[in-house]
Amino acid sequence: MESRLEAWIPPYSAAAVADLRERLARTRWPETLEEAGWSSGTDAGFLKDLCRYWATEFDWEQEIERLRAWNHGLYLAKEGRVHFLHARGNGPSPMPLILTHGWPGSFLEMLELIPRLTDPAAFGGDERDAFDVVVPSLPGFGYSDKPRPAGVNFFRVAEMWAGLMRELGYERFAAQGGDLGAGVTTALGLRHAECLIGIHLNFISGSYRPHLPEGAALSEAEQRFLRDAAAWYDENGAYAHIQGTRPQTLSYGLHDSPAGLAAWIVEKFRAWSDCGGDVLRSFTRDRLLANITLYWMTESIGSSFGMYQEGRRTPLRFGAEDFVRAPCGIACFPKEILFPPRAWVERGYNVQRWTEMPRGGHFAAAEQPELLAEDLRAFFRPLRG
């Protein structure tokens, strides 16, 4: 059978970098309210400084050279090409593990996490806990193709992931995800349980609703969570609503203006991370800009919104027969944007481990790679055959 895998190297374009810098230099800045800070959105002073650094100091060529040190590939799915990293584990019997990112992140979030999983002994761990790690880019994100036709939702992506892992020679594997990646990993648990050793989540999808039998009583903690979630979406959910309902209109401006793109993305990294209001406590300028530049160079901000549209069309509403039976580990980071109580999660998942983390937020792999790696190793250790 013909292979559906291709080796691949991230491209670099000096002309595209020159165009980006020219656009940044010609940014037309709006007037802002005096002393508005971050209360009305991205702080103007912060954004101007970030864009100055982006135009004059940030080195995209160096970032590409850094990326080229990894083993990249393309998987030829029927929905299009899927970009992925593949890192072999250094141990006697590495467990295959697929990691799925979310929005507004990318596969770049996983780069500090991967070596802690592939070579735990180098970080003071046990080589027997090693993983073979696969990190795909979601369809419409980064170097993956923009999905055609529509309908590439959590369940279709899960099918693609199962196909990718089979093509790589892994009949059974572990899966981990946060944000949109948690939705994909949940879909793997619902539709591809025969392939799974177990799943690990650091987020519960906002569209998740367990099946509630008639007359089922919710605990006070569950009721409070639903109230808090409704209040959070009322105050903070405009981005998700427009990305899920009018993504095309939004994409014109973000696709054309690098300053606008940076403002849209960096606000989330500040608001959703454990940074105490100073995003540079959690991420360097170079790490923020590497992610933003990836969106810019691959022209993928508009296509990244597709998962929001598809999530509205096919949310994770569990029916009476739906339950994630594979063993499930949950890592609850304290500054996560929304996290339901254990009782709510256990209505739909076979929770075997629940860890309350001491620090960290929504971007767990990038913020706290060591904590996340330790929890992954501990959860999957008893599941190794």
Backbone Cα Rg of the chain: 20
Name the active-site residue from 129, 179, 274, 375.
179
- Is 200 designated active site? no
3-state secondary structure of 199: strand
Query: Which helix H or strand E contains 181, and what residues bound it?
Result: helix 180-191
Instruction: Outline where DSSP puts E strands in the chain.
Output: 5-8, 72-77, 80-87, 95-100, 131-136, 173-177, 196-201, 324-332, 349-356
Look at the block and give the residue holding tokens 């020159």.
Answer: 18
Other Cβ atoms closer than 10 A to 233: 14
Other Cβ atoms closer than 10 A to 49: 12
3-state secondary structure of 209: strand
For residue 202, give the DSSP letter.
Answer: S
For residue 382, give the DSSP letter.
Answer: G
For residue 344, give the amino acid letter.
W
Query: 207 and 315 in contact (C-beta within 8 Å)?
Result: yes
Handedness of CA 366, 371, 374, 376 (dihedral sign): negative
Look at the block and give the residue holding tokens 């990718």.
Answer: 164
3-state secondary structure of 98: strand
Structure tokens at 241: 């609503």
Residue 354's beta-bridge partner residues?
330
- Is 119 designated active site? no
- Is 179 designated active site? yes
Name the active-site residue from 143, 208, 308, 349.
308
Instruction: Determine the Cα–Cα distance for residues 16 and 298; give it in Å rounded to an integer.
Output: 10
Burial of 126 (0-12, 13-18, 19+ CB in 10 A): exposed
What are the catalytic residues?
179, 308, 362
